[in-house]
Structure 1
Amino acid sequence: MSKVFAILKSATATAIAATITAALLAGCAQEAGQMLDGGSFGDATLNNTEMMNGERQYTVQLARRFAQEVPATVHFAFDSAALDAEARRILTLQSGWIRQFPEARFRVYGFTDLVGSDAYNRRLGQRRADAVVAFLTSQGISRARLEGVVSLGKTRPVVNTPGPERANRRAITEVTGFVARHPTLLDGKYAEVIYREYIASAVPAGAVEEASPQDLATQ
């Protein structure tokens, strides 16, 4: 009887091991980014491609830098898409930062507070996003780099209150990726785009003055 139990125990262990091995192999066969696929055809393949060539990783890093180094959000008066002095100051800072990275694309999202109908607030959110884009283009930013302007209306309040709330009346600028076929990205040098400002700022001023052109060319 004990021999029968031993055989059954061994068979069970073998079956469990086979199941675990099959599961691990199935997991290894999944595309990178498959868990990010929200159901749209091709999303997993797109994410896999961007991860392999470095674009997704460096887009996240560049977006983090933008959010840390300049204000990403401007606010509006009630039922208005006009840019006040503070909003123009913030957008001037944004445009200066954006000009440092001509390879990057940006998107502007418009929001409203919860007063009014959904349809009206979608239109108002769009006007606010358009106002930001118009200002950035007036500062020399190519409209082609400000893609996919979006109105989210009153769908994502910062403060969930039915009354007027300035914190909800906003437009947010975000990094969304890199310009396709930009000459500095033909061989996928996304890391150089992200870190070049840090590298340049790390060079002591005296070292730059004393270095010869040949030395600088090889740095």
Structure 2
Amino acid sequence: MRTQIISLFAAALLVTACSSKPTETATNTGGGTATTATAPAKTGPVPGSAEDFVVNVGDRVFFGFDRFDLTPEATATLDRQAAWLKQYPQVTVSVEGHADERGTREYNLALGERRANAVKNYLTALGVEGARVEVISYGKEKPAVLGSNEAAWAQNRRGVTVIK
């Protein structure tokens, strides 16, 4: 029994020793002062990346119940999206239309498509080439938030612009 406890303790100590991160050091051997190299600090998303788009621009807009018209908040987000897309003309996107769980599958697929098209039409009106914007509807099939209450439904009535 005592041997098993010692063996367990030794194994735990060995695993702990293996899981620690070694520090990266480099020394200057050409005479002079020794230096230590460290990994560069993370400065944020790479400009023009999907992460940059989500973090710095915003990838989604929200709609009212049974609505597909754009709110002032939505148009402000889409203005930023259009500016970003013009800055990175090689990027193509897919606009996903979503609905909350209420209503039939068919109705919500059609509503999701109207929402996605509202987003696409706004972006193209601001000068984004229509061929760069694909539209797809998921209806109520891909909720962002689970729940049968207004807070969940409000988060699920959305249009999401996804970088391809």
Deviation per CA, 1:123-180, whole angstroms, max 9, x where unpaired? 0000000000000000000001112x1100101112222344111100000111xxxx
Work out which of the residue numbers 56, 59, 83 in structure 2 matches 1:96.
83
Letter in 2 for 1:71: G
Cα distance, 1:62 vs structure 2: 1.6
Deviation per CA, 1:41-66, whole angstroms, max 9, x where unpaired? xxxxxxxxxxxxxxxxxxxx721221
1: distance between equivalents of 2:149 and 2:56? 32
Give structure 2 stretches of 5+ with no counterpart.
1-47
Summarize the alignment of residues 148-163 of structure 1 with structure 2, pairs less than 5 Å apart.
Answer: 149-163=135-149
Give structure 1 stretches of 5+ with no counterpart.
1-60, 177-219
Partner of 1:123: 110
Summarize the alignment of residues 20-99 of structure 1 with structure 2, pairs less than 5 Å apart.
Answer: 62-99=49-86
Deviation per CA, 1:85-128, whole angstroms, max 9, x where unpaired? 11001100100111001111111000000000000000000000
2: distance between equivalents of 1:139 and 1:159? 31
TM-score by length of 2: 0.67
Letter in 2 for 1:111: H
2: distance between equivalents of 1:159 and 1:109? 16
Partner of 1:169: 157
Letter in 2 for 1:83: L
Percent pairwise identity? 38
Partner of 2:129: 142
1: distance between equivalents of 2:99 and 2:111? 7
1: distance between equivalents of 2:142 and 2:98? 8
Say which structure is richer in helix: 1
- Aligned-residue CA RMSD (Å): 1.2
Between Structure 1 and Structure 2, how many residues are aligned? 115
Partner of 1:51: none
Task: Give the SS at the match of 2:162.
Answer: strand
2: distance between equivalents of 1:74 and 1:141? 17
Partner of 1:132: 119
Q: State the 4+ residue runs in structure 1 displaced beyond 2 angstroms.
A: 161-164
2: distance between equivalents of 1:158 and 1:107? 17
CA spacing shift, 1:109–1:67, aligned 2, 3 Å:
same
